[in-house]
Chains A and B, each alone.
Chain A
Amino acid sequence: MMDDQIVRITSRLVAPFIQLYGIYIILHGHLSPGGGFSGGAIFGASLVLIALSFNLEAGIKQISHQTASVLESGGALGFALTGLVAIAFGGNYLANRSAGFPLGEAGQFFSSGAILVITVFVGIKVASTITTLFYNIIEKEEPLGNHKQTD
């Protein structure tokens, strides 16, 4: 990987802002363009940026391979379970208002019931998937037969 002072310092400066922006996009998914997928992708990109400009170890220090894949399954699981909660409340699968999720006032942050919850889960899932994909590609770069497991 690259060993360049300028790239390292810039990415270290920029990364927190990218992450903050990613979280913003995820949390405002029900109010403005964006949402779980785009926000998660932005957040995941910041982790990829760190791994690229420093090295894989630095990236893994941010979020380990294992944590990433647990979050990946957890995010999808959360989505599926949110749908089941609707059934428990007497609606159909993934029902929102008719299952009694509080919709709040349109335009407010706490509004839209289940959509906000699902967006957060999708965000977690996408961010962790992007990092896992990237780690997997990097690890596969090592010559075959010399399988080093990082987790």
Chain B
Amino acid sequence: MESAGHQPVLIIVLLLISAFIAPLLYRRWRFLSGAVVLAALTGSFITALLLLSKSGASSSLSYHLGNWPPPWGIELIIDPLRVYMLLVVTGVSLWIFIYALGDLKHELHNDVIGWYYSLYAVLVASMSAITLTNDLFNLFVLMEICAITACAIITIKDQRECLEAGFKYLIMSAMGTGCFLLGVAMIYMVTGYLNYSFIQSELSLALTDYPLNIFTAAALFIVAFGTKAALFPLHVWLPDAHAAAPSPSSAMLSGLVIKIYAFALFMIFYRVFPRSLLDTIPLNEIILWLGAMGVMFGSIYAMLQTDLKKMLAYSSISQIAFIFMGIGLDQPLALTGGLYHIMVHAFTKSTLFMSAGAIIYSTGVRRISDLGGIGKVLPLPLFAFTIGSASMIGLPGTGGLISKWYLALGTLETGRILFLLVILASSLLNAIYYMPIVINAFMSGEEFKEKVKIVPLSMQVTLAAGMILVVISGIFSRQVIIFFEQALTSLY
């Protein structure tokens, strides 16, 4: 592996430095504080693009922190899949941040907005680092940072339900990281390494001598990442947390934070566990069944909701389960679908939460039944909501179709027709709870009565960008799919 220059670490450090400067600047120059974080996010996105052109679709680069070579030091790795995830993380968070600049003033106390910027930058830094790291203990530390900042951007809104939801999230997530740490200890016990690549080569030997340790560790990892990513039976914290948070935080949490853990589990499965372990115990099968149940139950719960943001939150449970199904089917086409869904759902769910945020911003309405006729007074947010719903259902021309298509191909390839039915059924269920909102908003005869505030420009621009992104991901998917095909060959 060749050296990667300093770009991988600069992405993280740039964001961290902006996070430390933002609250200082906010005391004097409020405007500059947001600008610094915006600049850092843009910088990290551009750096990620540079890394993409550098690494290409097949090679991988490594960076040794503090010049300590692995297994002693922390190693950051740039390979195609990580670069893809890094691009999604930095790009989507940049986009949501522009929205946040417009929305936060009405959701938060004026004194804490500087701290919000700071927390946001730390959250993005930790997520970028989770994608890049090649060290289990480093991953643990970053997960803690990610969990604490994610809780903080919920509880920063000084309301009873935010504090309650944030506290619940904090407890569940601490349980998750606890399980993860225990799992890491088990792995360290039998291999003596924390570096992914070293563990992988060592585990295939250790598997015959200490199977129980490794099985326990695998179980702990599934519980840990399942809790963090809201995999079906461990999802209980998600609806409250995502619904109560300020809208930019909801978009961030639903769009990226849960996915980063799904990606981390994917990395653990294919970069830490050797193939022989996945063949010995049915880890993928467990994930597959949990994912299938999540897809169904998430949709069913979502149908029962009366609150708009809560419905979107339950829908996230069903959508994150698609990604887990991709991992569970353990097959290149299905993995392509799952990984593509990371990006598609980040675009789609963020757009949906942003349009919900815009509706709440300008009218204060949250109940689904009160949205009749709102399309005439707020055309742009509701149009964005329509496009987002179409992608959730998987209509042609939106990104949702592509990822579900590849997942479905994966189920056919492995001969698991049951899971094909699950995917189809979930699409129908999505249509049942998304379409009435859209139809009611545009076509109902009633007039919308509430007072309407004008949506700020930054929010309108990001909503329009969201629609475009969802459609682009549906139409120009070929390049990305080819990229995945090349990248996934290294796993099989």
Interface residues of A (CB under 8 A from B): 66, 69-70, 73-74, 76-77, 80-81, 83-84, 86-87, 91-96, 98-99, 149
Contacts and interface: CB of A to CB of B under 8 A. Distances in A.
Interface in B42-91: 63-67
Interface stretch (B19-27, B256-264, B334-342, B343-351): B19-27
A46 B21 CA distance: 27
Nearest to A91: B67
Nearest 6 interchain pairs by C-beta: A98-B67, A77-B20, A93-B9, A95-B67, A94-B66, A76-B20
Contacts of A69: 23
A96 B73 CA distance: 13
B111 interface: yes
Contact of B24 (A70, A80, A81, A98): A70
Contacts of B452: none
Given A87-B6, A149-B111, A93 B13 contact: yes
Interface of B: 6, 9-10, 13, 16-17, 20-21, 23-24, 27, 63-67, 111
Contacts of B65: 92-94
Contacts of A84: 13
B13 A83 contact: yes
Contacts of A92: 6, 9, 63-67
5 contacts: A74-B20, A74-B24, A81-B17, A93-B6, A93-B13
Contacts of B27: 66
The A interface, classified by DSSP as helix, strand, loop or mixed, is helix
Given A76-B16, A80-B17, A93-B66, 8 more contacts: A73-B23, A91-B67, A92-B65, A93-B6, A93-B10, A94-B65, A95-B66, A98-B67
A73 B118 CA distance: 10
Contacts of A94: 65-66
Contacts of A96: 66-67
Contacts of B10: 93
Contacts of A77: 17, 20-21
B383 to A, nearest CB: 40
Contacts of B17: 77, 80-81
A14 B24 CA distance: 33
Contacts of A66: 27
A73 B20 contact: yes
A76 B20 CA distance: 7
Nearest to A76: B20
A149 B27 CA distance: 14
Contacts of A149: 111
Contacts of B21: 73, 77
A95 B63 CA distance: 12
Given A73-B20, A73-B21, A149-B111, A80 B13 contact: yes
B16 A80 contact: yes
Nearest to B27: A66
Nearest to B109: A147
A78 to B, nearest CB: 9
Nearest to B19: A76
Contacts of A93: 6, 9-10, 13, 65-66
A77 B122 CA distance: 13
Nearest to A97: B67
Of A92, A95, A149, the most chain B CB neighbours within 10 A belong to A92
Nearest to A81: B17
